[in-house]
Amino acid sequence: MSPQLNSVSGFEKLRLIESSKLFQGVVIAIIILSALTIGAKTYDVPPLIEQSLLVLDNAITLFFLVEILFRFGVCTDKKRFLLDGWNLFDTLVVIGSLIPLDNSEAVLLGRLLRVFRVLRLVSVVPELRFLINSLLKAIPRMGYIALLMFIIFYIYAAMGSMFFASVDEELWGDVAIAMLTLFRVATFEDWTDVMYATMEQYPLSWLFYITFIFLTAFVFLNMMIGAILEVMSEEQNAKQAQKAHDERDEIARQLQAVQNQLAALTEQMGGGRRD
């Protein structure tokens, strides 16, 4: 009985270490160190430092391998661990980092996957995970807004190509080029130069640009932000509801444990009286 309890206790200690802030802080520090190492390799450094960076990179790769195996080992539901998107991403990045850089055919892939190790910072920090998950869930709603924006772009591009092609063929020659010009206008990249050029021939063409900017830069942009904020609010409410549900379950389990202890104590006291 004692060895079994010690085994369970040891497993619980490992789980506490895996979920501790100290462990998470160490992982974050190693990820940042990995990012700095990748950045340092882009500079011309002396051979000694280059060799040191290579040793450090191998050590970081080994750490990530041990870390992912440790997290997999302490996880009680192995299937759920592998089905989790963030865990799967971490595993693929770590496995990809094991590609030897001295292999000329795989050197580009290996370096690319080492760059993606920086993205592991998102999977480690819960707040960043929350933002990315909210953004991904907001994509379907943003897709309809983007479709409506594309329709407006196309209409204005067709109008601009019809009226302003004679002014500047390079900017308004066809619909595709006109859409690129309108993207320049929507991002406020020297858009006044484009407007003043057409105003020389069409004095009222400023209405074309003002209405387009109002629709794209103000209306649609705010709609995009509103869609993201709405999803973030829903995710936050769901997270709080799940937390409250977990707390109620924990309280219920504690109450049940107390009731069981009281029942056992009552039974012991009743048996003692009969004796």
Predicted confidence band of residue 3 (pLDDT cuts 50, 70, 90): very low
* SS3 per-residue string spanning 56-75: HHHHHHHHHHHHHHHHHHHC
- Please tell me whether the overall predicted TM-score, pTM, comes out greater than 0.85 for this model: no
User: What are the two backbone dihedrals, phi and then psi, of residue 76, each rounded to the nearest 5 degrees?
Assistant: -75, -30
User: Where exactly does CATH 1.20.120.350 map onto the chain?
Assistant: 10-124
By CB neighbour count within 10 A (0-12 exposed, 13-18 middle, 19+ buried), where does 175 fall?
middle
CATH of domain 141-253: 1.10.287.70
Which of 70-74, 94-98, 190-194, 221-225 comes out lowest in average pLDDT?
Answer: 94-98
- Delimit the CATH 1.10.287.70 region(s) of the chain: 141-253
- Across the range 247-256, mean pLDDT stands at 83
For the residues 254-274, what does the mean pLDDT come to? 75
The reported pLDDT for the residue numbered 107 is 61
What is the C-alpha separation between 155 and 149, in angstroms, rounded?
Answer: 10
Contact 162, 152 (CB under 8 A): no
CATH match of 10-124 with 3.40.50.300: no
